[in-house]
Chain A
Amino acid sequence: MSDTIIGAVREPRRHDSGHKHVSGQAVYIDDLPEPVGLLHVYLGISTEAHARVTRIDLDPVRAAEGVALVLAAADIPGENDISPTHRHDEPVFATDLVEYAGQPIFAVAARTRDLARRAARLAIVEYEPLEPVLSVEAAKKTGKMVTEPLVLSRGDAAAALQQADRRLSGRMEIGGQDHFYLEGQIAMALPGEDDEVTVISSTQHPTEIQRMVAHVLGAPANAVTVEVRRMGGAFGGKETQGNLFAVVAAMVAKKTGRAAKARPDRDDDMIITGKRHDFLVDYDVGFDDDGRIDAVEMTFAARCGWSSDLSGPVTDRSLFHADNCYFYPNVRLTSEPLKTNTVSNTAFRGFGGPQGMLGGERLIEEIAFATGKDPLEIRKRNLYGGGDRSLTPYHQPVEDNIALEIIEQLEESSGYWRRREEIGAYNRESRVLKRGIALTPVKFGISFTATQYNQAGALVHVYTDGSIHLNHGGTEMGQGLYTKVAQVVAEEFQVDIDRVKITSTTTGKVPNTSATAASSGSDMNGMAAQAAARAIKERLIDFAAENWGVPREQILFLPGRVRVGNQEVAFSELTLKAYNARVQLSSTGFYKTPKIHWDRDTGRGRPFYYFAYGAACTEATVDVLSGEYRFDRVDILHDVGNSLNPALDMGQIEGGFVQGMGWLTMEELWWDEKGALRTHAPSTYKIPACGDRPRVFNVEILQNGQNREDTIYRSKAVGEPPLMLGISALHAISDAVASVADHRICPRLDPPATPERVLMTVERLRAASREGAS
């Protein structure tokens, strides 16, 4: 008998579908065999950003070859609304008003996808244009918001700013980001009996899809089953943005009695669906001559787009992370979730947190230039500490702070100070190429800020042969959640992981689930699956104690077997015997995150169960003649608590960093003056390619990490936090750029730091430097 099982927790286990991914056997929704008679659905969308619709003539669409059905607002059996926060501000199809270029007006279902796309072009829609509100700045003037703003405050920021030794203010623009999941949005609906429908949807949130489909069909939730085995990437872009495609496919399926599939092409996907919010941040900071912060006032104005979607919680989270790792003695933070005539921005890895953190890091940078000190010194000086320096702007004390430990380790391992010297010497000699370095930390709060979402369910069956069927509410988007949860169950029963069958997420098995989001997937579903496994284990122990007449404490689950007193029985033998004795071998499991509470009205509470930490040190070389740059070296030290699976966690850290780096450097969304998105394909919207990754990339997981809270095997969430390590890339470029003015002027380099923007910043600094000298 083996002494260990294969696939225990902590094992750097490969992704459960890896062998299928590499051989083309992993099935995504578009790869499923199509039922006979399947209809392909395509959307007809608005060409105007803001207009009254004066005429919609869909007859030419209906008359087109192969068309089986055309659907517009009047054809919706239930409610014409898919607002995830139930504000009734997101119609499936526009009626008399369109509010962004790309807004769906109708859908057409045809025999082939090609015919559906061609037919969709034939609609006659006439508009009476209205003035569109496109930018954050324009929206600020209107003051129109999609949801209620939030204020977080502690102390008297206004008074403290007045009294501060030094004070400065500024404004920062932060760009948005397209998710660019490789598998685009897709849903396939299969009609059932009576009011029933099954929707296979590429979604992070099957329960939400179920709710929306029921809502739009005018059916109860129990008529709708939603299933997803895997997504080809999601990153938040499939938390609510799959709703539209799922409800449209479901309506076609119910109305025609035929299966229906909706898959936009890449350009339409980018034009129709929401993205990361872009922000305009106004800041005012007071500090002393040593660079210690006294007071902070910041306003985070976000371009939310035409509907609220998740913009409320996203902009809330930007405030929750505006402090990053730093203590603000007096603080007032305000969100402005502004309405614009652009796509409705949505969840994206970090969920507003990264934008908040960027604002906080800009303060540090400003103070460093104002005091003539190294930014790293300013960072360390302002970290949360013990005693009266531990309270966040939302009045939750930081109790698990390891930021300083991580920074100091990385400072040492990356050779920050030595390289700082070398870079200074290099820059004095080099005219065209300038190098820069930055070490930035991350503290990220873990939990959904809406307390009710912090619950999860699982379902575990043990069959008489000892094989195990695992289901839970979490979804697999590549992050390896299915593998981690299966490791938990294998560990609990002490069986090899190949005895645990990982099954598709479906609302029919585990109901009322939360989105796989907020980095909470393994924390919550791991705990729920553990609870289910333990319930069955308890019954097996009771049975064994009675059957063999031994005390419960003498029953031990060993690898592949169970010790019962002085004898050992195979796990499969025990399960068969238990079945014969009529022991229930199936259980649900449930988990709700403890300790958390949040009162939005007072801005006080404990929204986060714990914090995850990390830090990155990036070195960049900038060509100051062209504005182009490269990342020469990145060192990362990241905290994942006591890792459930270090291999998967490393993947999240590496991928998160590069995605964050892409957001802040090369990924630029561009809307024209009429509000049409002009960067709607990878030809114009550039995400990092292999050549863009750092030349040297040293990634380490913090050794001996522990979660001080009682999470699943004391691990920590890892989905979102590493994205914010990418902030160091922006600051490294900024540091290089600053050298053209001898580090006397804060570059105020706003992301995305495209080569054009870098070049403009270089020119601005040079001009200011000349002025200052003359």
Chain B
Amino acid sequence: MTITVNMTVNGKDVSAEVEPRTLLVQLLRENLGLTGTHVGCDTSQCGACVVHVDGESVKSCTLLAAQCDGGQVTTIEGLADGDTLHPMQEAFREHHGLQCGFCTPGMVMSAIDLVNRNGAPSETEIREWLEGNICRCTGYHNIVKAIDAGAKSMGG
């Protein structure tokens, strides 16, 4: 049995026939080819799969595609304006807030949601917000720096 889900992904209307148990991350990666959203732990803890649904960050491996029916989904691929990176993407690049890059899309998506809620997060607020995003490479030092800088340029 399949169901039809309709949603807007990165500004485009999409419609897909999927099994009801299909996860949002599967829809994005397998049906829509948006592979910038990664699967790190399969169990909603590492945060590599974070996307925005209706403007809020969610772990797309926890959410059924059907739950997003009618929703607005933004993935890492939907942030840049043509060749111009989103300020948070630019901040991660500029401040070396990455090494292997696998956690980076989820980090960026989480960070943007933080700044959307709190335009000038303190270092403590950044640390606390990122509890659900794991990075094994960087020790988080540059990630915090990047988010701080990204918040400033998003505000400016």
Do they bind each other?
A: yes
Q: Which residues of A have CB within 8 Å of B133?
A: 689-690
Stretch in contact with the other chain, from A147-155, A176-184, A292-300, A321-329: A176-184
**Does residue B24 face the partner (Cβ distance < 8 Å to A)?**
no
Is B130 positioned at the interface, with any CB of A under 8 Å from its CB?
A: yes
Q: Let me know if B9 is at the binding interface, CB within 8 A.
A: no
Partner of A22, one of B42, B89, B130: B89
CB distance from B77 to the nearest CB of A (A): 5
User: Which parts of A451-497 form the interface with B (CB within 8 Å)?
Assistant: 477-480
With both chains docked as a complex, state the minimum distance between the C-beta of B122 and any C-beta of chain A, in angstroms. 13
Question: Of B48, B75, B96, which is within 8 A of A182 by CB?
Answer: B48
A:177-195 near B, CB below 8 Å: 179-184
Q: Which residue of A lies closest to B19 (CB)?
A: A114
Distance, CA A477 to CA B136, complexed state (A): 12
- In contact, B48 and A14 (Cβ under 8 angstroms): no
Complexed CA–CA distance, A144 and B131 (Å) = 43
B75 touches A235 (CB 8 A): no
B45 and A681 contacting across the interface, CB-CB below 8 Å: yes
Question: Which parts of A230-255 form the interface with B (CB within 8 Å)?
Answer: 230-235
* A774 at interface, CB cutoff 8 A: no
* Contacting residues, chain B, for A480 (C-beta < 8 A): 99
Q: Chain B contacts of A233 at CB under 8 A?
A: 99-100, 102, 136-137
Bin chain B's interface residue count: 35 or more
User: In chain B, residues 2-35, which have Cβ atoms closer than 8 Å to a Cβ of chain A?
Assistant: 29, 33-35
Q: Do B41 and A23 have beta carbons less than 8 Å apart?
A: no
Looking at the complex, which one of A31, A659, A690 makes contact with B130 (CB distance below 8 Å)?
A: A690
How far apart sit A27 and B104, CA to CA, in the bound complex (Å)? 13
**Distance, CA A382 to CA B48, complexed state (A):** 46
| Partner-binding segment picked from B52-60, B62-70, B141-149 | B141-149
- Are A655 and B138 in touch, CB under 8 angstroms? yes
Q: How far is the CB of B54 from chain A (nearest CB, A)?
A: 20
Query: Interface majority SS on A: helix, strand, loop or mixed?
Result: loop
Contact A18/B96 with A183-B40, A682-B134, A691-B128 known, Cβ cut-off 8 Å: yes
Q: Are A478 and B41 in contact (CB under 8 A)?
A: no
A22 to B40, CA, bound (A): 16
A301 vs chain B, min Cβ distance (A): 28
Q: Report the Cα distance A688→B126, complex, angstroms.
A: 15
A690-B126 in contact given A24-B77, A27-B35, A180-B136 (Cβ < 8 Å): yes
- Give the residues in chain B near A658, CB-CB below 8 Å: 138-140
- Are A182 and B140 in touch, CB under 8 angstroms? no
Q: In the complex where A19-B93, A651-B99, A691-B127 touch, is A235 in contact with B136 (Cβ < 8 A)? A: yes
Closest to B77 in A: A24
| A222 interface contact, C-beta 8 A | no
Which chain B residues border A651 with CB–CB below 8 Å? 96, 99, 137-138, 142
A687: chain B residues at CB < 8 Å are 134, 136
Q: Which of B39, B94, B126 has most chain A Cβ within 10 Å?
A: B39
Instruction: Among B80, B102, B127, point to the contact of A690 (Cβ < 8 A).
Output: B127
Whole-angstrom distance from the CB of A29 to the nearest CB of chain B?
A: 10
Q: Which residues on B sit within 8 Å (CB–CB) of A230?
A: 100-101
Is there contact, CB below 8 Å, between B142 and A654?
yes
Q: Distance in Å from the Cβ of A376 to the closest Cβ of chain B? A: 24
Binary contact readout B80-96 vs A (1 if CB under 8 angstroms, 0 otherwise): 10000100011011101
Q: Is A15 part of the binding interface, using a Cβ–Cβ cutoff of 8 Å? A: yes
CA distance A25 to B138 in the complex (A): 20
Are A690 and B131 within 8 A (Cβ)?
yes
Residues of B within 8 A of A28 (CB): 35, 38, 102
Interface pair B93/A14, CB less than 8 Å apart: yes
**Contact partners of B85 in chain A: CB under 8 A:** 19, 22-23
A363 to B51, CA, bound (A): 50
Tell whether A380 is near chain B: CB-to-CB under 8 Å. Answer: no
Cα distance A265–B134 in the bound complex, in angstroms = 17
* Residue of B whose beta carbon sits closest to that of A112: B30
For B135, the chain A residues whose CB sits under 8 A away are: 182, 690
B101 and A20 contact, CB distance less than 8 A: yes
CB distance from A230 to the nearest CB of B (A): 7
| B36 at interface by CB-CB < 8 Å | yes
- Which residues of A from 646 to 688 have beta carbons under 8 Å from B? 647-648, 650-651, 654-659, 681-683, 687-688
A18 touches B38 (CB 8 A): no
- Is residue A697 within 8 Å, beta carbon to beta carbon, of the partner chain? yes
Q: How many Å lie between the Cα of A144 and that of B130 in the bound state?
A: 45
Give the complex CA separation of A180 and B46 in angstroms. 10
Q: A592 vs B76: C-alpha distance in the bound complex, in angstroms?
A: 43
Give the most central of A15, A21, A648: most B CB within 10 Å.
Answer: A21
Residue with the greatest number of chain A CB neighbours at <10 A, chosen from B34, B77, B134: B134
B151 adjacent to chain A (CB < 8 Å): no
Q: With an 8 A cutoff between CB atoms, is B103 at the interface?
A: yes
Is the beta-carbon distance between B142 and A26 smaller than 8 angstroms?
no
* Contact partner, B136, options A30, A267, A479, A659, Cβ 8 Å: A659
Q: Does B108 count as interface, using CB distance less than 8 angstroms?
A: yes
User: Is B77 touching A647 in the complex (CB atoms < 8 A)?
Assistant: no
Please report the C-alpha to C-alpha distance between residue A182 and residue B47 in the assembled complex, in whole angstroms: 10
In the bound assembly, the distance between CA atoms of A445 and B139 in angstroms comes to: 24
Cβ A15 vs Cβ B45 within 8 A: no
Asked if A478 and B134 make an inter-chain contact with CB atoms under 8 angstroms apart, the answer reads no
Q: Could you say which residues of chain B place their CB within 8 Å of the CB of A234?
A: 100
Q: Please name all residues of chain A whose beta carbon is closer than 8 Å to the beta carbon of B36 when the two chains form the complex.
A: 23-25, 31
Question: B141, A689: Cβ atoms under 8 Å?
Answer: no
Q: Are A689 and B131 in contact (CB under 8 A)?
A: yes
A748 within 8 A of B: no
B98 at the interface (CB under 8 A from A): yes
Q: In the complex, how many angstroms separate the beta carbon of B111 from the nearest chain A beta carbon?
A: 11
A17 within 8 A of B: yes
Chain A stretch 530-551: residues in CB contact (< 8 A) with chain B: none
In the complex, how many angstroms separate the beta carbon of B34 from the nearest chain A beta carbon? 7
Q: A232-B38, A266-B43, A689-B131 are in contact. Are A15 and B137 (CB under 8 A)?
A: no
Q: Is A68 an interface residue, CB under 8 A from the partner?
A: no
Q: Are B99 and A182 in contact (CB under 8 A)?
A: no
Minimum CB–CB distance from B154 to chain A (whole Å) comes to: 14
Residues of A close to B37: CB separation below 8 A? 24
Complex CA distance for A657 and B140, rounded to whole angstroms:
11
Is B100 a contact partner of A232 (Cβ separation < 8 A)? yes
A683 and B127 contact, CB distance less than 8 A: no
B96 adjacent to A24 (CB under 8 Å): no
Q: How far is the CB of B93 from chain A (nearest CB, A)?
A: 4
Tell me, yes or no, whether B120 is within 8 Å of chain A by CB.
no
Which single residue of chain B is at the shortest CB-CB distance from A32?
B35
For A691, the closest partner residue in chain B by CB is: B127
Question: Which residues of A626-652 are within 8 A (CB) of B?
Answer: 647-648, 650-651
19 interchain pairs (CB within 8 A)?
A14-B94, A18-B92, A19-B85, A20-B101, A22-B85, A22-B92, A31-B29, A182-B103, A183-B100, A184-B40, A233-B99, A265-B42, A267-B42, A478-B101, A681-B45, A682-B134, A688-B140, A691-B128, A693-B141
Interface contacts beyond A24-B35, A232-B101, A655-B138: sample of 20 additional A-B pairs, CB < 8 Å, sorted by A? A23-B77, A23-B85, A31-B29, A31-B38, A180-B134, A181-B100, A181-B102, A181-B136, A183-B40, A230-B100, A233-B100, A235-B136, A265-B42, A478-B98, A658-B140, A682-B41, A688-B139, A689-B133, A690-B130, A690-B143
Instruction: Give me the interface of A with B, judged by CB distance under 8 Å.
Output: 14-15, 17-28, 30-31, 33, 179-184, 230-235, 265-267, 477-480, 647-648, 650-651, 654-659, 681-683, 687-691, 693, 697, 699
Q: Hey, which bits of chain B sit against chain A, CB under 8 A?
A: 29, 33-43, 45-46, 48, 75-77, 79-80, 85, 89-90, 92-94, 96, 98-105, 108, 126-128, 130-131, 133-144
Q: Which 10 residue pairs spanning A and B have beta carbons closest together?
A: A24-B36, A478-B100, A232-B102, A21-B101, A658-B139, A31-B35, A478-B99, A24-B76, A690-B130, A654-B139
